[in-house]
Amino acid sequence: MISTVTTTVSSMASSMVSSLGVGASLGIVAVVSLIGLLIVKELASTESKFSKLAKSLSVAILPLLMIFVGIVAIKIVEVL
């Protein structure tokens, strides 16, 4: 199962790299989604009745945060 997922992810990554336009647009969507979810989490954490929502948003934020770090790392490598 893990090898199937690894193969799928690596093939998707190589196809996105080959078509830079699609990769860039997916990066923009990921960053905008991350910003939106961080705003919603911050607003939900201020109210005690939305504390479960604030905790559950971490499930969606963590993968998007890893994508964001990857994008930043790639841009830094490009500059250097």
Residue-by-residue pLDDT tens, the chain, 80 positions:
444 545 655 565 555 555 556 667 777 888 888 898 899 899 888 888 888 888 888 888 888 888 888 888 888 898 88
In a domain, 11, yes or no: no
Write out the two tokens for 42: 């911050």
Question: Which of helix, strand or coil describes residue 32?
Answer: helix
In a domain, 43, yes or no: yes
Q: How many domains in the chain?
A: 1
In a domain, 57, yes or no: yes
Strand blocks (E) in 1-80: none
For the chain, the 3-state helix, strand and coil shares in percent, each to the nearest 5, are 95, 0, 5
The reported pTM is 0.64
